[in-house]
A and B are shown apart, each in its own frame.
Chain A
Amino acid sequence: MLSFRTAIPRRQEVTLGVAGLVTFLVVWQLVAVSGWIKPQFLPTPGAVLAAFWRLFTEAGFAGDIAISVGRVWFAFFLAVIIAVPLGLLMSSYRAIGAFFEPFIDFIRYLPVPALVPLLIIWFGVGEASKIAVLWMGTFFQLVLLINEDTKRVPREYIESGLTLGANQWQVMRDIICPAALPNMVDNLRITLGWCWTYLIIAEIVAASSGVGHVIWSLRRFVKTPEVMAGIIAIGIIGLLTDQAFRLLHRRAFVYLDR
């Protein structure tokens, strides 16, 4: 049954995935109804589902999700359009890399939550500070990841391009970018996941809307089912985004043997 590093049929894969989820839910249900833990700490899955429903029908949760998703995507977009060209230039021209690397490395190690107070002083409690937190959290990581991805493009590809008559810009556009793209998309997918972490921090500290804000304000009334429903909603959004990226990856890079 357990064969080492061997593919299993797709149906078996799906069945096992569902079985894992169901087991988790059953254990949760058993623990919740056993009375070991008070319901205000651990409500049943059913109670959380009901809370989920209430959030959408009574509390306008969909609007908060839309706001949060919008913040994540906008900040992520701002990070990507600067990080990709900069990472590419840093790996292409040693001088540019040498100039930026120490600085970016330093900022990368600053914990984003520690920057939140400073960013609120600078940008206030409005949208700008949230975008700034997300941007700070992803941009610097992303630059270094793109830098690595483009650095790893085999030298033969680049030298082939040059001896086919491409100039430096053409090599970057026609060879380095397509060669590094699959890894870049993977790294975008991973950094977009981090964005959600920083978003919730930003929305808890200072916001009047968004998923993080909703969860945090429900906490005050110890509405545990709603808090858990909110957390699960984030998980679902993350999962869907991740799957969308994976699908895009499979469709766009059919030439990769996986």
Chain B
Amino acid sequence: MSYLSLQDVSKTFRTATGDVEAVAPLSLHIVQGEIVTFLGPSGCGKTTLMRMVGGLERPTTGQILLDGQPLGGPDRRRGMVFQSYAAFPWLTVAGNIRAGLRYRPGISRSEQADQIARLIDLVGLTGFEDSYTSRISGGMRQRVAIARTLAADPDVLLMDEPFGALDALTREHLQTQLMRINRTEGKTTIFVTHDVEEAILLAHRTLVFSARPARVIEDIDVSTLLPPAARDTETRDQPAFLDLRKRIQTVLRQEHHEGSKADVA
């Protein structure tokens, strides 16, 4: 029942200093509504893989299918949230969300207003509708970016370390909020992170990648170990969570070690 399929997808960047194989031929199948988190050493190719799914980078080999159809360049079916806050500074919070609705066909004005109100409420920005995004905090800006992406109603949500630049407390708050958003929206999601706890908390499934070129070295069914519906902030203290965290950290440490050895060689 694969919804998003990557078939032997690889990426080699041709640069002035030689070829860089960022992603080795890799196949991956994600079912509809599944939230998959990507973990892996820095520079292993997670962003590249996600950008290929988003159509922002063309695979060197292989193809990517959504609902059985081959995907090409970027479009509304795959929404992207970037680590650098990409909320448009020349628009207000509401204006940014309207920008997400703008290219959806057949949305009436009143529907637009309803959607904007619903999304502002969903990401907890009520009262900031008319603030310019240059005047709000980084965490709020990232919530604007998430709401804007949801406004476009993509089939697949791609998030590349969206909370990477936030302080620990804000990040925890946004993780909790995102868990709730995920439950209400039910979008197929790929979420890249460096934070093992975040990767477990948000995931139905976690993929751990090797050092560059990226290969999947662990494919963990987190849903079975920690039912998503029962997760909250306290989940972090559960034995199942702690076990899983330890297991992933061990794999990552091992991989980091391998990566450094490869760098020296």
Contact = CB atoms under 8 A, between A and B. Distances in A.
Interface of A: 154, 156-157, 159-166, 170, 174-175, 178-179, 181, 253-257
A65 to B, nearest CB: 36
Nearest to A179: B90
A174 B98 CA distance: 12
A159 B86 CA distance: 9
Interface in B124-162: 132-135, 145, 148-149, 151-152, 154, 158
A253 B90 CA distance: 8
Contacts of A254: 132
Going nearest first, the 7 A-B pairs with the smallest beta carbon separation are A165-B76, A165-B103, A255-B132, A156-B86, A162-B74, A163-B80, A164-B152
Q: Is the interface of B mostly helix, strand, loop or mixed?
A: loop
B24 interface: no
Contacts of A159: 54, 56, 74, 80, 82, 86
Given A163-B54, A165-B104, A178 B88 contact: yes
B40 interface: no
Interface in B44-79: 54-56, 73-76, 78-79
Nearest to A252: B90
18 contacts: A154-B86, A156-B82, A156-B86, A157-B86, A159-B56, A159-B80, A160-B148, A162-B75, A163-B75, A163-B158, A164-B76, A164-B100, A164-B103, A164-B148, A166-B102, A179-B90, A256-B134, A257-B134
B84 interface: yes
Contacts of A175: 88
Interface of B: 54-56, 73-76, 78-80, 82, 84, 86, 88-90, 99-100, 102-104, 132-135, 145, 148-149, 151-152, 154, 158
Contact of A255 (B55, B74, B89): B89
B80 A160 contact: yes
A175 B100 CA distance: 12
A165 B103 CA distance: 6
B88 A179 contact: yes
Contact of A178 (B90, B149, B151): B90
B88 A157 contact: yes
Max chain A CB contacts within 10 Å: which of B84, B89, B102, B135?
B89
Contacts of A256: 89, 134
A156 B86 CA distance: 6
Given A162-B74, A254-B132, A256-B134, 14 more contacts: A156-B84, A156-B86, A159-B82, A160-B145, A163-B55, A163-B78, A163-B79, A164-B100, A164-B103, A164-B151, A164-B152, A165-B76, A178-B90, A255-B134
